[in-house]
Structure 1
């Protein structure tokens, strides 16, 4: 498993808010406990709100809003996209302004102990590809609103999906979907989508295939 895939798998596990030991995560992912320790440090440095210590366990804090504003998902998406794009631009003044804005955002985030996260909107190496997913974001969002099926090609996988929800977690955007190909729920990293196309026909909620069913399955996880 690639390191970025392992980090994503760890984020997905931690998001349930429960305490997870390094030993259990290492066993599930077939890596050493020391590797999990390093991964937790990487996630924290990337801005994922990881809490915990070696020998005790790890969890994540609740999602952070920027006081006095509560950002909508669309506003957060726009802010992240703008900073990620400008930060990568080869324009000194613009890049400097983007980093200044990122610093101001960091300054109003709640103070927490532990290592300081990377500036908001600027991906670390482990998630440097996350910004590539923005090209597919409008099509996925439109399909969710229209309840339109999509054909998704991602790496070596092809799925016919019912897109249900766009989720943001630790600077990675995902699409929660039900795959008609595998007859199971998927959490697709949008930056890993190579191509997508509309499949004729709309979908309606069916038992076992809805967003509510997916949420119930997450709550039932041990």
Structure 2
């Protein structure tokens, strides 16, 4: 059983009411008691209203639950954008709620749809850092549609890069962009939140052999 499925199964058992011993939960799910302890810590850190302690048992307070939802990548991206904006705000209670909600979503996302997010996990979600890239996304998307070249600079760069924007990828908690970099005459991929400056450059571009998104995907 995948960890996301196990966490959901634990939540379902807790919703049934009563006190649940870790030993019983471990036996029902076919895992060790230590694994149940870790899962309960994860659920609690994610904002699930779990009460109890190791050696005593666990129960859940009443909470609002939603039926399963099927989200498209753009819908998930829109949800993430909203949560990140609220999480970066100065409204402490709502910011904390946004982080808790992000953690719950992260806990049930499929684990086999992309690379491991590393420190972009639900416990250390960098709302403020990710939000830095949001200001560039409308211009980047518009440039992709218009086939407009861009001049941009990344954190740590000493000079600008002239690029053809090709695609934006969403990896669960970060956004990366794929470009053909005319400065280096090669494809490049980097996180959008690393962009410090971005502006349209004179001239549009057309597809050329070896410089398209399809070419990038073939090489990858």
TM-score, length basis structure 1: 0.57
**Higher Cα Rg, which structure:** 2
Q: Report Cα offsets for 1:176-203 as digits up to 9, x if no partner.
A: 0001111000102211111111112211
Helix, strand or coil: the match of 2:170? strand
When the two structures are aligned, how many residues end up with a matched partner? Answer: 146
The answer on 1:119 being equivalent to 2:128 is: no
Structure 2 partner of 1:211: 213
- 1-side partners of 2:145 and 2:205: how far apart? 11
Structure 2 partner of 1:50: none
Q: Report Cα offsets for 1:148-171 as digits up to 9, x if no partner.
A: 111111232421111000012252
Change (3 A) 1:192 1:106: closer
RMSD: 2.9
- 2-side partners of 1:179 and 1:110: how far apart? 33
Tell me by how many angstroms 1:102 deviates.
2.8
Structure 2 partner of 1:69: 70
2:162–2:183 CA contact under 8 A, matched in 1: yes
Structure 2 partner of 1:134: 134
1:67–1:109 CA contact under 8 A, matched in 2: no
Q: Report Cα offsets for 1:128-149 as digits up to 9, x if no partner.
A: 6232111100000000011111
TM-score, length basis structure 2: 0.57
2:88–2:131 CA contact under 8 A, matched in 1: no
Alignment of 1:60-209 (within 5 A): 68-73=69-74, 75-106=75-106, 108-109=108-109, 118-119=121-122, 123-124=125-126, 129-155=129-155, 156=157, 157-209=159-211
- 2-side partners of 1:109 and 1:72: how far apart? 12
2:177–2:192 CA contact under 8 A, matched in 1: yes
2:84–2:128 CA contact under 8 A, matched in 1: no
- 1-side partners of 2:111 and 2:197: how far apart? 40
Tell me by how many angstroms 1:104 deviates.
4.4
Change (3 A) 1:86 1:188: same
User: Any unmatched runs of 5+ in structure 1?
Assistant: 1-44, 46-65
- 2-side partners of 1:149 and 1:160: how far apart? 7
Alignment of 1:24-39 (within 5 A): none
